[in-house]
Amino acid sequence: MIWKNVLRFILLVFVQSAILSQIGLPLNLHVFLYIYFMLLLPYQIKDWLVLLLGFASGMMVDILMGTLGIFAFSMTVASFTRVIFFRVAKANEAGQQKFPSLKDMKFRNFFLYVSLVSFVHSIAFFMLDAFSFSHFGHTLFLIIGSTIFTSVAILFCNIIFVSKE
């Protein structure tokens, strides 16, 4: 199980930094597929480790892309959102899987989980990137658009890869 998560970590960080960062989506929208790693961490993992792994994955993307901590900050905030989500929802009590998935959480709950974490990540990313409220309308558009693109991409990945397990 640990090797599967390590491989997922390496693959998603590589895809984010080498492929997705080079794709020019319309209107400067982004797909943050690397957060999928953190979304699929096992339920039983300690909260501090979720935060540490979130920071590490964001820092790896920062290092590979030459940015100054924006991905590390955004991923740490998203990791904290994941921790709070499962404390509030207690989604793992009825689950049969060891990690969050469409099978385990059903579509509505999984979509809410993915969308919420993606939305919080996008807020942290774009607000830190803009570092101003002068173009708030455009920043809000980027947050919502990137949340939609990221959520759909993660749902497709979950359908394709996790459903086969």
DSSP letter (8 states) at residue 93: S
Q: pLDDT value at position 161?
A: 77
Whether the CB-CB separation of 25 and 54 falls below 8 Å is answered with no
Closest-CA residue to 5 (of 55, 50, 58)? 50
Give the pLDDT confidence of 7-50 residue by residue, as tens digits: 777 878 887 777 777 776 677 788 898 899 899 888 888 999 99
Phi, psi dihedrals of residue 117, rounded to the nearest 5°: -65, -40
pLDDT digits (tens, 9 = 90+) for 76-115: 999 999 999 988 876 555 455 678 888 778 889 899 999 9
Residue 41's closest CA among 125, 123, 162, 163? 162
What is the structure's pLDDT at 121? 96
Return the pLDDT at 142: 93
User: pTM of the prediction?
Assistant: 0.87
Domains in the chain, CATH or no CATH each: 2-162 (1.10.1760)
